[in-house]
Amino acid sequence: KTLPLITNFYSEVSTNKTLYEAYKNLRNTSLNEQQRHIVKESIESFKLSGVGLEGEQSDRFKAIKERLSLLSNQFSKNALKATNEWKKTLTEAELEGYGENELAKVKTKDGYEISLQVPVYMDVMTYAKNQTLREEVYKAYISRASEVGITSTEFDNKAIMDEILSLRQEMATILGFGNYADLSIEGKMVESTEQVIDFLNDLVDRSKTQAQQELDELQSFAGVELMPWDLMYYSEQLKEKKFGFKKSELTPYFPEKKVLSGLFSTIENLYGISLREIEEKTYHADVKVLEITNPDGLVGRIYLDVYAREDKRGGAWMADYQALVNENKPVAFVVCNLNSPTEGKPALFEFDEIVTLFHEFGHALHHVLTKVPYPSAAGIAGVPWDGVELPSQYMEFFCYEKEVVGLLSEHWQTGESLPDELYEKVIDSKNYQSAMQMLRQCEFSLWDLRTHMSSEDTYKVLEEVRSKTALIPIVGENRFLNTFGHIFSGGYAAGYFSYKWAEVLAADAYYYVQAQGGIGSDASRSFM
């Protein structure tokens, strides 16, 4: 009931001609640099919101925006329900390959139960020796919210996806753009869709030979014809052989309390601020409230919600709740789906999960540490969308610094920090199968852009993109687009390329800070 009202409110504001004229008149007044930027960007935003439309076109444009809001919300709900409806009870013998930590995650009173929650799914794909089980879970996961769903087709998102894409194209046409991708590019750092496609194709060309070599090595090691549900399992086995350690050897060194303490210390050293947990009633018992201060007083708050649970959509994200306005301090949410505590053990995080935490805190700090007192230009709202991943990916680099790992690690039983030998193995394995991963991300980005430039069925577009990027065919049940929230219920439509674009920027920023003295230097303090 409330979503249409909220959408309509913002639609009315963004198409208010009186307000639009007022902003245009402000251009001729005495403004500081921030104010001039805000006025310029606001005028462009008004135009892209349809302020210049009249009559039937204006009414239709508003109706499209309201409908898109409802569809995106339903897409997200369907994906969550489809994920939660699949479960399977197993014996310990059927989970051969699992270590003590993995078994503890799925232990129930009567045995073991696996689901499609991301941490559980990843464990099956990575550790389960039973190929038949891996195949079953893989197909259940990649067919969620589709007409070929393993359990039901009740939450099929395909019609919603088609309508979303059609409405986006209609919106672009009304505003005078050739396609939605061209509309999306407006206001971004990149200059054209052609520039983005060239950028992505260049990454594909530079990666494909190495990616094929990585796959050939994996194929030779496995000794069997690799299917999609085999990749993670044999990749982990090969990684163990090449680098001499198991991923499960790391997790005991990264209990939640120590990881968060180390994360907070790293942030404090980087930016000259302080973080502390405070007691406050929240929407869930698992949520932590963090207060951020500097020598001048309160800066803002971050609500931290890290564990996976059934009423939460998958993935990890930051959401801005309150901006810096007058005496109101910024507030952000950091939401993840990480490992939770098990009986007798604290939450033990995998190293990849720690990287995710650093990533999302980069977003949150971008919002909370803003000094711009205007919400429309503060934090994540103040940069082009293809630059919004810069602070998050910048933060990821610090996860691998030895000093930082020392702050993050403490064996949950012995209190020992991560041994130097294990640390060196983590660093050596950092770029393991990086070319295969690069191809996968380029595939997502190229599909996203091309599907918003074409009237073809979105899965047909995916086939065309995969003909240039894929090394292994996908199975017939693969409907992963049906749960691709970034594109259909997030803010990345025709903008998924932003991850790779910002990765380049983040690398430049990180190595500049390193050259200036690294953590604690004036350069690191001035980054945000």
Residue with tokens 């949950």: 412
Q: How far apart are CA 34 and CA 517, in angstroms?
A: 30
Answer yes or no: are the C-beta atoms of 145 and 112 closer than 8 Å.
no
Domain assignment present for residue 266? The answer is yes
Catalogue the E-assigned strands of 309-430. Answer: 317-322, 331-338
Domain assignment present for residue 422? The answer is yes
* 63 and 88 part of one domain: no
Q: What pLDDT, on the 0 to 100 scale, is given for residue 248?
A: 87
Q: How far apart are CA 517 and CA 523, in angstroms?
A: 8
Domain end, chosen from 20, 42, 76, is at 76
Q: How many helices (H) and strands (E) does the chain have?
A: 22, 7
* 60 and 110 part of one domain: no
Domain assignment present for residue 300? The answer is yes
* 70 and 90 part of one domain: no
Q: How far apart are CA 341 and CA 345, in angstroms?
A: 6
Q: What pLDDT, on the 0 to 100 scale, is given for residue 395?
A: 98
Domain end, chosen from 32, 59, 76, is at 76
* 62 and 106 part of one domain: no
Q: Token pair of 423, please?
A: 């640390």
> Which residues are designated catalytic?
360
* 256 and 345 part of one domain: yes
pTM, 2 dp = 0.91
* 131 and 275 part of one domain: no
Among candidate residues 332, 368, 338, 331, the one with its CA nearest the CA of residue 355 = 338
* 46 and 89 part of one domain: no
* 32 and 115 part of one domain: no
* 105 and 9 part of one domain: no
DSSP 433-499: THHHHHHHHHHHHHHHHHHTT--S-HHHHHHHHHHHH-SSPPPTT--GGGG-HHHHTSS-TTTTTHH
Among candidate residues 422, 20, 489, the one with its CA nearest the CA of residue 252 = 422
**In the 8-state DSSP scheme, what is residue 313?**
-
Task: Give the amino acid at 34.
Answer: Q
* 322 and 406 part of one domain: yes
| pLDDT under 50: residue ranges of the chain | none
Name 55's Cβ contacts closer than 8 Å, sequence gap at least 6.
none
Domain assignment present for residue 20? The answer is yes
Q: What pLDDT, on the 0 to 100 scale, is given for residue 326?
A: 82
* 50 and 87 part of one domain: no
Answer yes or no: are the C-beta atoms of 190 and 387 closer than 8 Å.
no
* 37 and 121 part of one domain: no
Q: What pLDDT, on the 0 to 100 scale, is given for residue 187?
A: 87
CATH code (residue 333): 1.10.1370.40
Domain assignment present for residue 314? The answer is yes
| Direct distance between the N- and C-terminal alpha carbons of the chain, in angstroms, rounded to an integer | 38
Q: How far apart are CA 234 and CA 97, in angstroms?
A: 12
Domain range for 43: 2-76
Among candidate residues 366, 375, 415, 353, the one with its CA nearest the CA of residue 394 = 366
Q: 3-state SS of 230-275?
A: HHHHHHHHHHHHHHCCCHHHHHHHCEHHHHHHHHHHHHHHHHCCEE
Q: What pLDDT, on the 0 to 100 scale, is given for residue 153?
A: 85
**In the 8-state DSSP scheme, what is residue 227?**
-
Domain assignment present for residue 150? The answer is no
Q: What pLDDT, on the 0 to 100 scale, is given for residue 527?
A: 87
Domain assignment present for residue 524? The answer is no
3-state helix, strand, coil in the chain (%, to 5): 60, 10, 30
CA angle (165 as vertex; 314, 383 as ends), nearest 5: 65
Domain assignment present for residue 355? The answer is yes
Task: Count up the domains in the chain and report the number.
Answer: 3
Domain end, chosen from 430, 456, 480, is at 430
